A = this chain, B = another copy of it.
Amino acid sequence: MAKGEQKETLDAITPMDVDFAKWYTDICKKAELIEYTSVKGCMVIRPYGYAIWENIQKNLDARFKETGHENVCMPMFIPESLLQKEKDHVAGFAPEVAWVTHGGSEKLEDRLCVRPTSETLFCEHYANIIHSYRDLPKLYNQWVSVVRWEKTTRPFLRSREFLWQEGHTIHATAEEAIEETERMLNVYADFCEKDLAIPVVKGRKTESDKFAGAEATYAIEALMHDGKALQAGTSHYFGDGFAKAFDIQYTTKENQKTYPFQTSWGVTTRLIGAIIMTHGDNKGLVLPPHIAPVQAMIVPVAQHKPGVLEKVAEIEERLKKSFRVKSDVSDNSPGWKFAEYEMKGVPARIEIGPRDIEKGECVVVTRHDGVKHSVSLDSIETSLAELLEEVQTGLYEKALANREKKTYRCQSIEEIRQALADNGPGFVLAPWCGEEECEKKVKEETGAGSRCIPFGEEVHDEKCCCCGKKAKHNVLWGIAY
């Protein structure tokens, strides 16, 4: 079937209330974010999807550089012998790596895994380049793809290969390293809230949920439209465990040999999944203006009438100076174009027709609420800037309201079960004694696992929601993606 012939009959997507999972993959495909391939669990990220990732990259990369980080590039392969140096780490990752066993026709002596994460490579490098306190800290990051041999896969959320950034830093003291771990968690949280318009909960993972080899793992957790939880970014503090395993030592000012302290932190293309499931609706994708590849799409109305296309070109030229703007002057109907750019989540649509031109006006329709705004063409730059900021804020507030509506404070397993039954999936805040057994039981009996121990939610006299003993922490529980 030719695309040309399809154009007047843009298929609707599955409504989110009917089948949220189907709605999600419909958007991934119909908004042209991805396409499947014959490599199971791997996808093509199409231009529109990749442009979102490029905007995420550009924004985060600037934030990393402002906080003193430098980009590097490590090999994609890790020799099996190197992967095995840190015991918890290899135990966590070995079951899910892809193994290269042959180079050309030659069988390799030491198999190579395709990096699932690069701590071991960074450690080997640190051991080569770090000798003195003068060589510390090193604040590194890389933008690469990694491979984890997942059994079940979904576009952006869980794929065998995914794009990410992995920050890796090494410091003279534990304090500095812990500070870095927290700093980067805050960078992620600020980025999610300000630029992706996704409210997040910051917290520490429980022991059972830590990164393989970490002393502490911090995470930001977001609540999706369907009430399920999505881990949106993690930041790990390693202590000096990796340094000891890889024999990274430095000489202090006092001429003592000692081990440095490390961190790593990462976010992935999963953030695109988070955007879809936080802001999307039954018309398709809804993109926050800060990272939308096209912030405003100009659609001419009655474009055959004299002067319309000229005015569209003139307005596009003006707006291009300050916005990511495009116009669609193809011979598809305005109705088709409206539906197409709604599907693609373009934050604002600018309609310009003969009557608008006569009045020196145009209509700006904001995607997230469908509201039509009459705007004077003379001051369209100012109006569009204001409207886009309103959209950005509006999206955040809507998502925050959804999260608040779906966050339940409970004191017992029974209350958790009831809250989830009455209101559907959501975040649960409930106290916990700190025992792994109770953590497991809550998940088994309610379906909600521990997401993190959120900051700023200290317990006072609460009892564990499971065993009734004195609680150590309030825990954020949820049904995870």
Chain B residues in 8 Å Cβ range of A121: 37, 44
| Interface presence of A267 (CB below 8 A) | no
0/1 per residue, A138-168, Cβ < 8 Å to B? 0010001101010000000000110100000
In contact, B104 and A101 (Cβ under 8 angstroms)? no
Chain B residues in 8 Å Cβ range of A135: 2-3
Chain B residues in 8 Å Cβ range of A160: 103
In contact, B38 and A51 (Cβ under 8 angstroms)? no
Chain B residues in 8 Å Cβ range of A100: 98-101, 114
A99-B101, A124-B37 known; A140 vs B47 contact (CB < 8 Å): yes
Interface of A, secondary structure class, is mixed
For the complex formed, measure the closest distance between the CB of A323 and the CB atoms of chain B, giving whole angstroms: 16
| Interface presence of A131 (CB below 8 A) | yes
Chain B residues in 8 Å Cβ range of A187: none
| Interface presence of A75 (CB below 8 A) | yes
A75: nearest residue on chain B (CB-CB)? Answer: B42
0/1 per residue, A93-109, Cβ < 8 Å to B? 00111111111111000
Query: Interface with B: A65-73, A294-302, A423-431, which one?
Result: A65-73
| Interface presence of A4 (CB below 8 A) | yes
| Interface presence of A77 (CB below 8 A) | yes
Interface residue ranges of A107-143 to B (CB < 8 Å):
112, 114, 121, 124-125, 128-129, 131-135, 140
Interface residue ranges of A26-81 to B (CB < 8 Å):
35-39, 42-47, 50-51, 53-54, 70-79
In contact, B161 and A44 (Cβ under 8 angstroms)? no
In contact, A161 and B77 (Cβ under 8 angstroms)? yes
Cross-chain contact of A44 among B72, B131, B149 (Cβ < 8 A) = B72
In contact, B39 and A77 (Cβ under 8 angstroms)? yes
In contact, A72 and B98 (Cβ under 8 angstroms)? no
For the complex formed, measure the closest distance between the CB of A128 and the CB atoms of chain B, giving whole angstroms: 6
**Number of copies of this chain in the oligomer?**
2
A144–B44 CA distance with the chains assembled, in angstroms: 13
Cross-chain contact of A35 among B95, B125, B161 (Cβ < 8 A) = B125
| Interface presence of A251 (CB below 8 A) | yes
For the complex formed, measure the closest distance between the CB of A260 and the CB atoms of chain B, giving whole angstroms: 14
Cross-chain contact of A79 among B39, B76, B132 (Cβ < 8 A) = B39
Cross-chain contact of A75 among B5, B44, B103 (Cβ < 8 A) = B44
Chain B residues in 8 Å Cβ range of A105: 95
A45-B73, A72-B44, A99-B100 known; A38 vs B2 contact (CB < 8 Å): no
| Interface presence of A1 (CB below 8 A) | yes
For the complex formed, measure the closest distance between the CB of A194 and the CB atoms of chain B, giving whole angstroms: 24
In contact, B50 and A82 (Cβ under 8 angstroms)? no
A1: nearest residue on chain B (CB-CB)? Answer: B131
Cross-chain contact of A163 among B37, B73, B102, B125 (Cβ < 8 A) = B73
Chain B residues in 8 Å Cβ range of A50: 70-73
A99–B111 CA distance with the chains assembled, in angstroms: 11
Which of A73, A106, A160, A163 has most B Cβ within 10 Å? A73
A36–B161 CA distance with the chains assembled, in angstroms: 26
A106: nearest residue on chain B (CB-CB)? Answer: B149
A147: nearest residue on chain B (CB-CB)? Answer: B76
Cross-chain contact of A102 among B44, B54, B99 (Cβ < 8 A) = B99
For the complex formed, measure the closest distance between the CB of A44 and the CB atoms of chain B, giving whole angstroms: 5
A104: nearest residue on chain B (CB-CB)? Answer: B149
In contact, A35 and B3 (Cβ under 8 angstroms)? no
Which of A3, A46, A160 has most B Cβ within 10 Å? A3
In contact, A72 and B43 (Cβ under 8 angstroms)? no
A106–B151 CA distance with the chains assembled, in angstroms: 11
17 additional contacts (CB under 8 A) given A75-B161, A98-B112:
A35-B128, A37-B75, A39-B78, A47-B72, A47-B140, A50-B71, A51-B71, A73-B163, A77-B161, A96-B104, A97-B104, A98-B100, A98-B102, A99-B100, A104-B149, A114-B114, A144-B145
Query: Mind listing 7 A-B residue pairs with CB under 8 Å?
Result: A37-B124, A44-B73, A53-B73, A73-B145, A76-B147, A98-B112, A100-B114
